[in-house]
Structure 1
Amino acid sequence: MPAAPFMDIASHPAAWTPEPVENARLAAFDDPEEWTAFSQSRPASGGSNTVWESRVAVQGMHCAACSLAVERALMAVDGVLSAQVSAASGRAIVVWSAARTSPSAWMGAPLAAGYSVLPASDAFSASSSSATRQQSRLALWRWLVAGFCMMQVMMYAYPAYIAGPGDITPDIEKLLRWASWVLTLPVILFSCGPFFGNALRDLRHRSISMDLPVAIGIAVTFAASTAATFDPAGRWGGEVYFDSLTMFVFFLLTGRWLEHRLREKTAGSLDNLMQRLPQSVERQRLDGSFERVAVRRLQVSDLVRVLPGEAFPADGVIEQGDTLADEALLTGESRPVPRPCGSRVLAASHNLSAAVQVRIDQLGADTQYAQIVALMERASADKPRLALLADRIAKPFLWFVLLSAAGAAAFWWQTDPAKALMAAVAVLIVTCPCALSLATPTAMLTTAGLLSRNGVLVRRLQALEALAEIDTVIFDKTGTLTEARMGLRRVLAREGVTQNDALQMAAALARHSLHPVSRALVAAADERFATSASASMQWADVIERPGLGLESATGSIRFGSARFCGLDMQRQMQRPGCLQVFLADSKGWLARFELDEVGRPDAREAVVALREAGLSVEMLSGDRAAAALAVSVSLGIEHVRGDCTPAAKLEHLRDLQKQGRKVWMIGDGLNDAPVLAGAHVSVAIGSAVPLAQAQSDFVMPGAQLMMLPNLLLQARRTMRIVRQNLWWAAIYNAVCVPMALAGWLPAWLAGLGMALSSLLVIANAARLSRTGPVQANGAWSV
């Protein structure tokens, strides 16, 4: 697999300028109408929209050197402004100028280096899936041939291991060697095809990757063994290594196949997410009948029929039918959500119970599903700090491998040429920067996939590193710890009037207003009188007085402030954090209603879990100090500030940071943008702000606060896994390289060690996907 070039291609762009692309597949992407399927326009200097950000899938990468090669190939194209590539996820984010280049041009640059680039959505097309299956079958056949030939060669080598001097005649020994040579040929010509093919591309493009030292080791071992077979008395000696050769090729192919499967499992959440949209849906014709059409042919205002078990193709409103929808991946709500006629449904959510007809109002990139996919694609191409360090090490490390192998061969050649050969081969094979480069991104992508399945979207993978070191968490109040609505807490009525009668009359007036207080009264009445006929009381000709309240047309009854109702202000006895409204008739005061904010049901539990996890919990609010204090007391938050402007919140945050505190900010994203951007780590709660505009590291559309301790503990666990992986990769290379240099490591064992090193890193990261939910005491349930 091609990788980082021998010379800095950024300073030699002519060497990487793509040739004219004749491939019709790439040329089709030059149509501007196709760009919106995998790209988003970004404002350029001067306000023009000629800069695009494209999200693509890159096939053929296996290590950090591969991703560096793709990045540099893309950056060498005139018009590509930036490129970010992740080998662990196989994703890339490319920013390019439409005035200077085209998709076929920059997609052709990695193709020339041996990598296939496709729009992320096209990576799951039927043709692409078919090609992937063919490649998987071919890889399986390579592995089977290598395994069969290895067993046969070992059978022919076994007599030489156990036979004493003179037990085997020269003719029999020669026959066994010839048989081993013949059985090794299929391994070299067929099973080793990927290693040699990628190494040749490396040499053509003046690049270096892990396949180059492996191919050199295989070729040298086979050449020396062939020479010993044809000329046992020659300078290469009479030893043959067909058994070691076939064995380490088998181990390498085994490791690569298992690594591919494990990476699909750990980093495949994004792939699963992108396949949730249906391929077709039933759309209504002009005559009222329905026809099945491809989803890409839908338009805004189309009426579609979604059957039970199908996914909704776009955002829209149900015009006929009632159903249950599974929105777990979009909102984090694990239970089916009732969606009656008139309610909104989201693209990629699943219709569970009944056929419904939906009027489409948002398609493609405008849907919430598309915004989530864009966030995850951007995060999957992100490179955390430790991953960037590993990438910088990968290329020098490969040069170290080649130089060490040459040094080992030169050292041992003077005393034992046969040992010199195997020592050099062992060095070439045993060293594995793949484990080092996969240690961080594989673990973080596994965590990102787990979090996305539980309603937390990761916008920047680097934030997982920072979150593991957090010691202080700050909550916004309104919309974060409390819901963006009010609730009725208490009803007081004059003598002779029941609370239910007072609420019933107030709600009848409030139904004529959209004010939050009116909506709270109506909601309380609907909940209390859901099965009572008395809930149908209505008032006609209600007049709303802005800023004051509501009154009947005759003025006989009023609902609103004490002054509007003509009441003595002494009757307005305020409780901290409580809002009071009144109901009055011609006789005067009739009832008083006390309302306050509705706290999120899991807010206190989340605060307790965060405190038990060792964090200092604070709350900053722009609301009145009394209201903020009331909420903080109910939740057990000791440090609270009210009447805070966005600037005051940011100033307090910076004061904490000057004290050396590492701060995690949690807000609703509406007026918290400055403090969210200034914190070490930030989370935007709910859906008040479009996902693409959220100034945060994480987004929680479902606003389930108990996911916050989950997120914290998962980040800490992820970094423990990352450190374990890095230590393993470092210790493995520190131990095995000296053993190979000393000639103590046979080639087959070197191949086994190389395969196991990468597998251990990925299998360790896969443990992150088996984490269960956090309990009230902050402990993980596995």
Structure 2
Amino acid sequence: MHCGLPTVCSTADDPTRVFCCGGCRQAYELIHGWGLDDYYAIRDRTGGSTGVFSKADASRYDAFDDDQYLGASAPRRAADGSLSTELSVSGLHCAACAWLIENVAGRTRGWTLARVKLNRHTVQIVFDPQQIKLSEIADLIGRLGYTLSPLTTEPVDRFRQENRRLLMQIAVAGFCAANAMWIAIALYAGDASGVAGEHRLFLRLAAAALGIATVAFPGRTFFVSALAALRNWTPHMDLPVALGLSVGTIVGLVNAISGSGEVYFDSLAMLVFLLLIGRWIQFRQQHRAASAVDLLLRITPQHARLVDEDSPEGPDRWVMVNSLKAGQVIRVNVSESLPVDGRIIAGESMLDRSLLTGESVPVEAKVGDGVTAGTVNLSRPIKVRVEAIGADSRIGRVMESVEAAMAQRTPIVQLADRIGGVFVVVVTLLAAIAFAAWFSHGIDVATANATSLLIVACPCALALATPLAIAVSLGRAAKRKILIRDGDVLQQLSGRGKVWFDKTGTLTEGRPRAELVYGSTDGLRMAAAIERECCHPIADAILREADRLDLIPATGADEIQLGAGGLSGRCQGLRVDVGNESFLRRQGVELSSDVTEHCERCLQNQTTPVIVAVAGCVVAVLAIADPVKQDAKSTIDRIRQAGWDVGILSGDHQELVGKVSRRVGIDPQNAFGGLSPEDKLKRVTTGAAGPVVMIGDGANDAAALAAADVGIAVRGGAEVSLQAAPVFVASGTLESVADLMDASRRTNHLIRTTFAVSLAYNVIAVVLAIFGFISPLVAAVLMPISSVSVLSLTLGWPTFAEDAS
């Protein structure tokens, strides 16, 4: 009900009151109690989902009352005595999340204001310290499924300054273009109905001033780039743009001063405006690569519990992670992520390494074992001696590989870009030839014909064909909850190559489910009593099943002991053991033939058997499965029929990967398990004849997603994966990937068609202009016709299969 994840329930249950876990139930009760049920309607309309809840220690929010801990987010006091602060918030997905947090503030005593900034993932909080503490607000937001943390001081000023500079250039160019267009309308109207000579001269000079201002200030970036291209003998698109702007400006200025001929500064100003918008979009795409390093701080904790080695049993001290040094000791409690790479010096626990490796099963860690940042401690507190932090940690190196891979990716050079520069240079030369050929008829005739050629052959439609087709396709994909951040994706997916799938959370649900296959529900209830103190995926599966059957006990268990393959404890005075066969045997539990037969049947059905024993006797067997998504096989069949070769890259065990590959129709020899993030990156970047597509959802896939020609992050993926991948499938279905590939082929055909139409138009127009059949005024009227034809063709083209119906 709350998080939107699929939850098993009986037909008698009310689906609006079914919860996957206690955290979702608690959040629902809070929201319902505040009267904010509209949150769910807003969430569903915007396609959002609620964050996943953790069982983190609530006391961790106590540090929010310490200004030293908050750093740059330390509250500032206003004149009325209230405090204001801005904090990072993770778990935001859509406008519904922002609406919920902002409305909760108005229903909480002492919490005056909350303003969520979705684009920055921050929230501004104003509160009365006499009535409520910041730690209480943080805890309240945490109970809703969102996590607050102090703002980082990562240097992003350079990108903000460049973004501001580009936007200022666009604003100036837009202002000049709009006013130049109005002046052009006045001049054309005056030519038709008559206008005083002095007024006409004033308007022409005003248009010239606006055009020159546009070219000289916001447009100077093209001249700087063109001069650099000439100095290095590496011509690119800015060179013909600068040539066109130069010729247009000189001819327009001469005509404006002389009072004869046409001025075309409105076209020049609009051209600069549109080109700058395209450059800003490109800059925003490049900025994503630099953001990958900042995302490192969102994935790993920013603070750590520093242990005083002189008084190891004394209270820990919260410190910033970047202040830690190698050799210091930190404590990591249950449910907390490790902020550093290091080595365990005290304690034993189970660790969830899925963030980095993709392993779906927690692993045991003991004294002397190395651990990495981003790993989640599941069962017992441990002490870790620091070895590497930040960029020097393993996850830091993965993030660096993400940034490097994105920087090295060379976008497909669009067809218009490949010949557009040559076309404009050729047109400019033809204009010079036309001027020379018509010079014998007088300089005015020669200038008019040359200018007509430059205007009517302006490659607007030629340059518009590809980006317009891509923009329309991106918009139609977004309506189907397929978000694409790079138009080159459509050209890559229109071909044939290699598609790699991650397993956990991509081909499978990524969320284990438990099913009672032997014994009584009392065994499930006792298992839930033991597992509620643990925090690994198998425990969550058992607790969800027990909650669905209303078997969650009121009290937990005592004397919990964790071992390899299971855990033990006491519940209602009885010893309870929960684990695999080898664990139960080590505990001295005898397994009957019925029990072993059910365990073997579980393995045959590709599920993991978990045995529950009470007082030394087996009372239940549970089957734990991470089911394959229903549309996985049909999606893979469609992709293969389109000519792609399909395989699996997973960090999970090879045996499990092989079983999944057979179920979805992938050759087991093309399914690889036990891979590290570095191994996945190597597979993606080597040995492929065509485009390589990587489809995944975990942070361990981030480098591979970035290095692939096309990275596709599926719903539920880690935040860094969504930044590394240019495609985010928010629909929740793998079929959307196959739909996107079909749409890409149709878009590529559209691009070729519109390009041919615009190129044919420009060739015909150039010929007519050379022979003097087109005047400058007619040229100005004919110029937009090719753009209109390209626009009409693009809007009517069936990009997705449904568009044709």
TM-score, normalised via structure 1 length: 0.53
Residues 531-550 of structure 1, C-alpha deviations (whole Å, 9 max, x = no match): x6x63253322333323542
Matched, 1:194 2:223: no
C-alpha contact (below 8 Å) 2:714/2:730 kept by paired residues: yes
Letter in 1 for 2:557: W
Matched, 1:538 2:556: yes
Distance (Å, rounded) in 1 between the aligned partners of 2:448 and 2:247: 12
C-alpha contact (below 8 Å) 1:376/1:459 kept by paired residues: no
**Structure 2: unaligned runs, 5 residues or longer:** 1-71, 73-156, 231-238, 291-318, 322-335, 338-389
Q: 543, 562, 582: which one pairs with 2:611?
A: 582
Residues 263-297 of structure 1, C-alpha deviations (whole Å, 9 max, x = no match): 999999999999xxxxxxxxxxxxxxxxxxxxxxx
| Post-superposition offset of 1:665 | 3.6
Q: 506, 523, 536: which one pairs with 2:544?
A: 523
Q: 582, 587, 590: which one pairs with 1:566?
A: 590
Residues 211-267 of structure 1, C-alpha deviations (whole Å, 9 max, x = no match): 65466457547757987x8xxxxxxxxxx64xxx15x55566667778888999999
Q: 139, 142, 147: which one pairs with 2:185?
A: 147
Superposed counterparts of 1:163-562, under 5 Å = 184-190=204-210, 193-194=213-214, 209-210=240-241, 212-213=243-244, 216=247, 220=251, 241=261, 245=262, 384-387=411-414, 390-391=416-417, 393-414=419-440, 419-433=445-459, 435-437=461-463, 439-440=465-466, 444=470, 462-470=488-496, 473-493=499-519, 499-529=520-550, 535-536=553-554, 538-552=556-570, 556-562=575-581
Residues 145-197 of structure 1, C-alpha deviations (whole Å, 9 max, x = no match): 2211221123249xxxxxxxxxxxxxxxxxx8888666644444555653588
Tell me the equivalent position of 1:723.
752
Distance (Å, rounded) in 2 between the aligned partners of 1:260 and 1:271: 16
Distance (Å, rounded) in 1 between the aligned partners of 2:513 and 2:213: 69
C-alpha contact (below 8 Å) 1:195/1:211 kept by paired residues: no
Letter in 1 for 2:748: M
Q: 672, 678, 685: which one pairs with 1:644?
A: 672
Identity, in percent, stands at 23
Distance (Å, rounded) in 1 between the aligned partners of 2:706 and 2:177: 46
| Post-superposition offset of 1:595 | 1.6
**Structure 1: unaligned runs, 5 residues or longer:** 1-36, 38-117, 158-175, 230-239, 275-298, 302-315, 318-362, 494-498
Instruction: Tell me how many residue pairs correspond in the alignment.
Output: 530
| Post-superposition offset of 1:506 | 1.6
Structure 1 pair 438–383 and aligned structure 2 pair: CA distance change class (3 A) = farther
Deviates more, 1:502-511 or 1:702-711: 702-711
* TM-align CA RMSD: 5.9
Deviates more, 1:146-155 or 1:565-574: 565-574
Q: 780, 787, 794: which one pairs with 1:751?
A: 780
C-alpha contact (below 8 Å) 1:667/1:685 kept by paired residues: yes
Letter in 1 for 2:763: A
3-state SS in 2 of match to 1:572: helix
Structure 1 pair 678–266 and aligned structure 2 pair: CA distance change class (3 A) = closer
Distance (Å, rounded) in 2 between the aligned partners of 1:152 and 1:380: 53
| Post-superposition offset of 1:652 | 13
Superposed counterparts of 1:604-615, under 5 Å = 606-607=635-636, 610=639
Distance (Å, rounded) in 2 between the aligned partners of 1:254 and 1:515: 59
Distance (Å, rounded) in 2 between the aligned partners of 1:552 and 1:191: 83
Residues 661-713 of structure 1, C-alpha deviations (whole Å, 9 max, x = no match): 76534245677689768865443557776728998665669975344235424
Distance (Å, rounded) in 2 between the aligned partners of 1:263 and 1:665: 28
C-alpha contact (below 8 Å) 1:473/1:618 kept by paired residues: yes
Letter in 1 for 2:737: L
Distance (Å, rounded) in 1 between the aligned partners of 2:472 and 2:212: 31
Tell me the equivalent position of 2:765.
736
3-state SS in 2 of match to 1:421: helix
**Higher relative contact order structure (alpha carbons within 8 Å, sequence separation ≥ 6):** 1
Tell me the equivalent position of 1:290.
none
Residues 477-533 of structure 1, C-alpha deviations (whole Å, 9 max, x = no match): 23321244421133311xxxxx3222111211222434543332122212321xx6x
Tell me the equivalent position of 1:94.
none
C-alpha contact (below 8 Å) 2:494/2:745 kept by paired residues: yes
C-alpha contact (below 8 Å) 2:481/2:730 kept by paired residues: yes
C-alpha contact (below 8 Å) 1:567/1:589 kept by paired residues: yes
Letter in 2 for 1:482: T
Distance (Å, rounded) in 1 between the aligned partners of 2:783 and 2:468: 18
C-alpha contact (below 8 Å) 1:561/1:582 kept by paired residues: yes
3-state SS in 1 of match to 2:609: strand
Distance (Å, rounded) in 2 between the aligned partners of 1:623 and 1:380: 29
Superposed counterparts of 1:588-599, under 5 Å = 588-599=617-628
C-alpha contact (below 8 Å) 2:532/2:539 kept by paired residues: yes
Structure 1 pair 384–753 and aligned structure 2 pair: CA distance change class (3 A) = farther
3-state SS in 1 of match to 2:577: strand
C-alpha contact (below 8 Å) 1:621/1:628 kept by paired residues: yes
Structure 1 pair 638–415 and aligned structure 2 pair: CA distance change class (3 A) = same
